[in-house]
Structure 1
Amino acid sequence: MLGRHLYSILIAGCVVLTCLFTGAYISKQADSRPNVVLFFIDDLGYGDLSSYGAMSYRTPHLDQMAVEGTRFTNFLAAQAVCSASRAAILTGCYPNRVGMSGALGPNSRIGLNLQEETLAELLKARGYATGIFGKWHLGDDSTFLPLQHGFDEYFGVPYSHDMWPLHPNQAQANYPPLFWIEGSQRTKEIKTLEDAGEITSAITERALSFIRKHKKKPFFLYLPYPMPHVPLAASTPFRGKSKQGLFADVLTELDWSVGQVLQELKKQGLDKNTLVIFTSDNGPWLNYGDHAGSSGGFREGKGTSFEGGHRVPCIIRWPGVVTAGRVCNKLLTTMDILPTVVKLCGAGLPKNKIDGIEWVDLLKGNEQVNPRENFLYYYRRNSLEAVRKGDWKLVFAHPGRTYEGLLPGKDGQPGPLTENFSFPTALYNLRRDPGERYDVREQNPGIVAELEKLAEEARQDLGDDLQNRPGNNRRQAGVIDENR
């Protein structure tokens, strides 16, 4: 009887120990969910990093990140302008699907709808700490600020830092003062270019503090740096450091900032369990001349539906998971980041329809998969200006911005540009003609018909202002409640 009693006690003890060890294992597994750091640089062109061809200055930390990760060469911003592009990366949607377009100004009456589920909200529901330090630009009213969209912490500027009284275009000198935002409250005013020179370093310091604070639980750190959007400014240690002018000084400081974040991850023992993504919101603002970046030889720049407006650098690093030293030429977009990240982190997708496509297998090195084949080039409020399938791009006749044939500005003063140039319909083969110079419609009528069919499907879904079609599946931006 005693032996049987001891046997029962031993069995019970084993069960308890098994449960304890299983619980500890599950807890350890939960803690091993990857951290995510997302750098989203403002107006950085395809050719602005030395690993993408920049000359006369170096970006060594980003070059090393490319050596240790994968460099993407066919990566597109969802739309070539600030607010729209930011809506896309956080929602996984074409910006016109969620009612966002252009660049919202100060005191905007609209913002990103609270019904949209952002990447921060999805990861927060999975137990992540979430922080944003940098430029928001999705509505500056407290209704729409980051704490209302899934972020636990926010420090940064509410919109582009050229939307202030010192704007070089005196016709727009009625902008209100620009303040730092802490949480949802205004704090210190950014009054001068010397003040603006502290933007990058201040954001970097907050990022490092966030990593140290949350090192014991998974976190999502979103770093939308306001530079090198004009007006350019660098902190004292970096002014003149590059010997190649202010733009290169600013890039040197941004590169240093990336290096600081990567170094802090290693210092805290988080390096091997952190997915780091570096990309840009759109191409360069070319009429600013020596204060603008390079499109890397692609046509046009920011605010256009040509490749210079959409094609941006993208480097992704995660030791042991993302293939090191690799170049990937597959077509991908900023919208695809959300579904890819939530899958890697075990989080759920938004309830509403999104346009992003997950590419975890490709990220891990499987070159046999081809996640995305099509892309829609929407601009202005809801104008379908071009469509792409594989290497083929059909540009529709549309009024648009052009920088070509106009002398760019210098030393922070913008040169002229044409906003309503009449672009003709044209077909381009981006493999042979990445500069979009040779219209080959007449040689490829079958390709034109195929792309027209794709465009018609897009117009039914998302609409097209150029044809006065509203679309069936667009959602509304958020609007301030006037009765609050």
Structure 2
Amino acid sequence: MISTLLRQSSLLVLGALLTTLVVVSCKPSDQSQHPNIIYILADDLGYGDVSSYNPDAAWSTTHIDRLAEEGMIFTDAHTGSAVCTPTRYGVLTGRYAWRTRLKSGVLWSWDKPLIESNESTVGKLLQKHGYVTGCIGKWHLGLEWQYHPSDPDSADFSRPITGGPIALGFDYFFGITASLDIPPYVYIENDLPTVVPTEYSENNSKMGWWRRGLTGSDFEHEQVLPLLTEKAVSFIEEQSENPDGKPFFLYFPLPAPHTPILPIEEFVGKSKTNLYGDFMLQVDHTVGEILKAIDRQGITNETLVIFTSDNGCSNQADFDELATFGHDPSYLFRGHKADIFEGGHRVPFVVRWPGKVKPGSSSAQIICLTDLLATTAAIVGDTLGSDAGVDSYNLLPALLDGQVEQIREATVHHSINGSFAIRKGKWKLIMCPGSGGWSDPKPGSPEEANLPPFQLYDLESDIGETRNLYDEYPEEVEELKQLLESYIRNGRSTPLQEKSMNSAAEKVETEKGATEIFGEYVTESGKIFIVRIDKSLGASIQIATLETRNFEIINDTYDLGEVDPIEDVFLSDLDGDGFEEIYITTRSAGSGSYGGIYGFASNRDKSVSEIYIPEPRQLPGDVATFFMGYRGHNIFRIKDGVLVNEFPVYADSDSNAKPTQNRRTVFYSLKLGEASRILSPIKAESDE
């Protein structure tokens, strides 16, 4: 059914444009008339994994299909990014995450909150209109942990964790910090862990793997999805029985079918494919439990339910094995999770709203998950401030009236390595030569080096993105390029209003006298990095920013936050791709005098992405041994074209008082990692 709709209805709508206000004015209604809203966000679920979207699916998602039969499916829905964290940021704020400090990849274990405390969120908006708001599931937007910067595992789990859901518009939270393969593995209720973790766990199995990390005694990876489902059902039951009659909003971000792929015994073998197929059926079962709870409580007609996914399917699903069963998680589309191609960011999007949305209907509107904020504002009769939801469009005309004309002017796509694409009507311009992600041609690969710098596809005639028309339509290329640049420059993609201050660069300019230039660094190709520091916090802590200039697509300012005093800055092409990275080293003034490093890589001189540098405790066991006896007093430098970390070796029993006579050098390699470029320790040499 969907393939026919994609090919036929797209001919009617893909070329039409409408420039609308962020929010269509709605007559305010009293609180009792507002619907309950449930937003189910699956994790790494592909467009083709839902049987109502894919007639060739190897399994049947009966509960998600029920939503489709009783509501509306969108065939051209997109995530704000091809990976987890940035999509979640966009869902809650209505703003593309590349406008923040996160220019590529995802957040990790101990990263600070990505959503600023003063930002507008869906939760805050609905709280203002009398909703009881709950977030149950995977957060993955950063938290404010209390720990020593040199030792994240020293986090004090007995103290409140700030900067999370409770601070950002949710009355109740129960969930996990990030993906189920990223530590720490603890449940958090509101702003406290349910237990203080003292043990470590890891799993190295093919599909069920998770990274080594602190694990709570009440935490079993296989039981996380069932427990979160129980909590979500309980929230629905409690709120629907609340005598004050307040509507509720449940944001339910699932941790599945993301790795670790661990279906419980009831579902193992049920799909008759592989463990990923079994896990998909467990996800569908979870959706069914939510629908049953709604029915049981008698609130079906008063509840708006949305089901979607945060990006395309991950390669951990084993595409080759699934292909033997005739199943493709990306269906008709090229690419998968992490990629700039359609399979990376085009996702199922199903909406059921009895009495409002026509059952069994379909829309070919090009929409983005950032559109939730403006849409919910319209539902409750509110309007957004000039700085809120700058990339969020109101979808009510499509939902209620089946509007065919395009609501969005254009939509911006973003890959794991920070590559951009922009879609307007049938045209999609990709601002990189390859996938920008994990599929071939990979970033920095020899095959990518021989391709044109950009890609232009006519999705109306080439939904599989097989024919690059970049050289044939220079006018379309230039129009889309200028539109993307205007979206970046103006700080919004919705109709232009008074420009708001939402970049770190603008904030620096307003704080005259607060910063000073540490240094300006020019690459061989003429790209400029400017490192600025703010010493207002004292001698031992600086606030650092990195400004970029002369890059072809994106020039921005990257906020490093509070760092130890900067010791050195240098340029080097460690991955040999012909484009220099910048590295900023720091040294603490306290006990141990730990040296730190920050890195940013050039995306072929079009933009810049942050380099992920794992802490020693985050490394697998065999690599972690490189850092035995590491107690600081180290220095990062370039040695024979390789980044090294040199440090004196301490005895295991030594608490940093007296090193041995031995020194160790750890060598690093820069390569494309799971979520960004990563500096990986590859060997260690010692004079022992």
What does the per-residue CA deviation read over 1:289-333, in whole Å, with 9 as the maximum and x for residues that have no partner?
159871113111111211111101100001110111111111000
1:197 counterpart SS class: helix
| 2:408 paired residue number | 372
| 1:178 paired residue number | 185
Within-5 A mapping of 1:79-228: 79-101=81-103, 102-141=105-144, 142-164=161-183, 177-187=184-194, 191=201, 195-215=220-240, 216-228=245-257
1:312 counterpart SS class: strand
In structure 2, how many angstroms separate the alpha carbons of the residues matched to 1:341 and 1:477?
33
Is structure 2 residue 425 aligned with structure 1 residue 390?
Answer: yes
What is the identity, as a one-letter code, of the residue corresponding to 1:119?
V
8 Å Cα contact 1:133/1:207 also seen in 2: yes
Is structure 2 residue 558 aligned with structure 1 residue 470?
Answer: no
1:467 counterpart SS class: coil
Q: Which moved more, 1:68-77 or 1:302-311?
A: 302-311
What is the identity, as a one-letter code, of the residue corresponding to 1:123?
L
| 1:327 paired residue number | 362
What does the per-residue CA deviation read over 1:143-201, in whole Å, with 9 as the maximum and x for residues that have no partner?
3211111111111110111114xxxxxxxxxxxx4111111112256957692221211
Post-superposition offset of 1:440: 1.8
1:401 to 419, 429, 437: 437
In structure 1, how many angstroms separate the alpha carbons of the residues matched to 2:352 and 2:259?
28
| 1:258 paired residue number | 287
Post-superposition offset of 1:260: 1.3
RMSD: 2.9
In structure 2, how many angstroms separate the alpha carbons of the residues matched to 1:183 and 1:282?
27
Q: What percentage of residue pairs aligned between the two structures are identical?
A: 34
Post-superposition offset of 1:132: 0.8
2:391 to 355, 367, 371: 355
In structure 2, how many angstroms separate the alpha carbons of the residues matched to 1:395 and 1:469?
14
8 Å Cα contact 1:69/1:322 also seen in 2: yes
Indicate how the Cα distance of structure 1 residues 350 and 43 shifts in structure 2: closer, same or farther if over 3 A, else same: farther
8 Å Cα contact 2:31/2:129 also seen in 1: no
8 Å Cα contact 2:135/2:165 also seen in 1: yes
In structure 2, how many angstroms separate the alpha carbons of the residues matched to 1:86 and 1:100?
12
In structure 2, how many angstroms separate the alpha carbons of the residues matched to 1:454 and 1:468?
12
2:58 counterpart SS class: coil
In structure 1, how many angstroms separate the alpha carbons of the residues matched to 2:64 and 2:359?
13
In structure 1, how many angstroms separate the alpha carbons of the residues matched to 2:416 and 2:341?
14
Post-superposition offset of 1:96: 1.7
8 Å Cα contact 1:361/1:369 also seen in 2: no
In structure 2, how many angstroms separate the alpha carbons of the residues matched to 1:374 and 1:347?
24
Indicate how the Cα distance of structure 1 residues 94 and 420 shifts in structure 2: closer, same or farther if over 3 A, else same: same
In structure 1, how many angstroms separate the alpha carbons of the residues matched to 2:297 and 2:560?
40
8 Å Cα contact 2:81/2:416 also seen in 1: no
Runs of 4+ with deviation above 4 angstroms? 188-194, 290-293, 462-466, 474-480
| 2:69 paired residue number | 67
Structure of higher RCO (CA pairs closer than 8 Å, 6+ residues apart): 1
In structure 2, how many angstroms separate the alpha carbons of the residues matched to 1:108 and 1:443?
44
8 Å Cα contact 1:111/1:477 also seen in 2: no
1:349 counterpart SS class: coil
1:198 counterpart SS class: helix
| 1:40 paired residue number | 41
Indicate how the Cα distance of structure 1 residues 118 and 350 shifts in structure 2: closer, same or farther if over 3 A, else same: farther
In structure 2, how many angstroms separate the alpha carbons of the residues matched to 1:51 and 1:286?
22
2:393 counterpart SS class: coil
Indicate how the Cα distance of structure 1 residues 435 and 478 shifts in structure 2: closer, same or farther if over 3 A, else same: farther
In structure 2, how many angstroms separate the alpha carbons of the residues matched to 1:200 and 1:40?
13
Post-superposition offset of 1:44: 0.7
Is structure 2 residue 280 aligned with structure 1 residue 283?
Answer: no
1:124 counterpart SS class: helix
The number of equivalent residue pairs is 429
Post-superposition offset of 1:477: 9.7
Indicate how the Cα distance of structure 1 residues 288 and 204 shifts in structure 2: closer, same or farther if over 3 A, else same: closer
What is the identity, as a one-letter code, of the residue corresponding to 1:117?
S
8 Å Cα contact 1:78/1:85 also seen in 2: yes
2:47 counterpart SS class: coil
Q: Which runs of 5+ in 2 are unaligned?
A: 1-27, 145-160, 209-218, 323-327, 492-502, 504-547, 564-688
2:187 counterpart SS class: strand
What is the identity, as a one-letter code, of the residue corresponding to 1:451?
L
8 Å Cα contact 1:340/1:359 also seen in 2: yes
Indicate how the Cα distance of structure 1 residues 313 and 120 shifts in structure 2: closer, same or farther if over 3 A, else same: same
TM-score, normalization: structure 1? 0.82
8 Å Cα contact 2:43/2:257 also seen in 1: yes
In structure 1, how many angstroms separate the alpha carbons of the residues matched to 2:162 and 2:71?
38
1:112 counterpart SS class: coil
8 Å Cα contact 1:36/1:275 also seen in 2: yes
8 Å Cα contact 1:123/1:347 also seen in 2: no
| 1:431 paired residue number | 460
Q: Which runs of 5+ in 1 are unaligned?
A: 1-26, 165-176, 406-417
| 2:582 paired residue number | none
In structure 2, how many angstroms separate the alpha carbons of the residues matched to 1:443 and 1:103?
35
8 Å Cα contact 2:100/2:114 also seen in 1: no
What is the identity, as a one-letter code, of the residue corresponding to 1:104?
L
8 Å Cα contact 1:138/1:144 also seen in 2: no
What is the identity, as a one-letter code, of the residue corresponding to 1:470?
N
Indicate how the Cα distance of structure 1 residues 91 and 449 shifts in structure 2: closer, same or farther if over 3 A, else same: same
2:333 counterpart SS class: coil
| 1:341 paired residue number | 376
Give the structure with the higher percent strand: 2
What is the identity, as a one-letter code, of the residue corresponding to 2:121?
T
Is structure 2 residue 345 aligned with structure 1 residue 310?
Answer: yes
What does the per-residue CA deviation read over 1:410-457, in whole Å, with 9 as the maximum and x for residues that have no partner?
xxxxxxxx4534363121001111111101234333322321221331
8 Å Cα contact 1:122/1:348 also seen in 2: no
Q: Which moved more, 1:190-199 or 1:312-321?
A: 190-199
Post-superposition offset of 1:478: 8.4
Q: Which moved more, 1:298-307 or 1:341-350?
A: 341-350
What does the per-residue CA deviation read over 1:74-116, in whole Å, with 9 as the maximum and x for residues that have no partner?
0000011111110000000111224334211111144321111
In structure 1, how many angstroms separate the alpha carbons of the residues matched to 2:227 and 2:293?
16
What is the identity, as a one-letter code, of the residue corresponding to 2:332?
G
Indicate how the Cα distance of structure 1 residues 355 and 392 shifts in structure 2: closer, same or farther if over 3 A, else same: same
TM-score, normalization: structure 2? 0.58
In structure 2, how many angstroms separate the alpha carbons of the residues matched to 1:380 and 1:61?
31
